[in-house]
Structure 1
Amino acid sequence: MGILSRFKDIMASNINALLDKAEDPEKMIDDYMRQLNSDMSKVKAETASVLADEQRAKRVLDECRAEIRKLLNYAEKAVESGDEEKALKFLERKAIQVEKQNQLQVAYDAASANALSMKRMQEKIVLDMGQLEARRVHLKEKIAATKAQQQLNSRGGSLGASGSVLDAMEEKVNQAYNEAVALAELRAEPKDDLDDLIAQLEKSMNANPEDELDAMKDQIKNKE
């Protein structure tokens, strides 16, 4: 399954919470960044294959749906011409295709879910990278401010503005985090339910061939 096997771990990771508990935040930031870069490389390498699987599953499903519509059309024309035996054969073949369609729908749903998971992982990794970079910048600035304070202390001076400077830095990090979260939310797309709706409509066609034949005959009578 490749990188998809790490989906839960990647999505559940909380970079800020882990860094807050770290004894050496600077080292941990470097370690996490290397891991995220590795994960991103794997996501990019496997995405093409996952998307190809999704497209292939959709193409086969669409072909099956087209065959169902074609057989249904043939059956209707046979009923209109008075050949009920031929119409029944078309409907029986259609019933087999409907069963096949149900299996293909399951395969397509799985492939589509994998493609969505790849997209969500990529967005999460990008978000985590942004948080790490923001924490790295904040950490370096905080260390620099601390060193400046220590130098002044060694000379008997003080850095009265250090508190406000650090507060401003923290506000900058919080703003960067909020912007990253907002960007991820904007990138998230609602699931397209069109295929599900089509599947539900076509499942309603999964009737007994004899019953369908009777229904077609009734429709033709109503038209007369």
Structure 2
Amino acid sequence: MGIFSRFSDIINSNINSLLDKAEDPEKMVRLIIQEMEETLVEVRTVSAKAIADKKELLRRKQWLADQAESWEQKAELAIQKGREDLAKGALAEKLKFINEGVDVDAELDAIEESLQSLEDEITQLQQKIAEAKARQKSLVTRQKTASSKLKVRMVLKGGSVEETLSKLEGYERKLDELEGRAESMDLGKKSLADEIEQLAKNDEIEAQLAALKERVKTKTEDQG
């Protein structure tokens, strides 16, 4: 059983409302699009038949016009030959084709009106299909986003992230200890640069000590 029972149901449908009520919106929108596209094929098939009928009627109309003209010429010939009775008969035949042409014109008008209506229906169907496909795209995007969020939350809830972080912290602690051991082996060892730098520091200290002694000496002498 289809979602829609007739063309007007599709045109008057509120796709968003249908999807909001559906238990499985993604499945529902696929069904909606499928049925709309099937209906579009049916409408186009009817339209194609109407176009074929129109072409046939146009050929018929031209043939009737040619026949009417032919009988007109025959009537003229009969008058020229003095056969008024034959001219009347020819004119009667002409009138018959003209009247049939009027009927064909009426059929053409009806087909033209039908084709216009079918064209409007096709346009409306295409708009509805575009609307449904846009909603389908939105649903697919939302589904992918929701699935990604769910996976992330499941990973976090499962504790695997905390376990990994805990392992990394353990590795960092081991690296700290290893680096500490390496640095401890260098304790007490001074490079040439370090020793020279220490000599410079010793000279500075000696200079400051001498200056301090001189200030103390001067101060003592002044007080005495």
TM-score when scaled to structure 1?
0.49
Higher RCO, 1 vs 2 (CA within 8 Å, ≥6 residues apart): 1
Higher Cα radius of gyration: 2
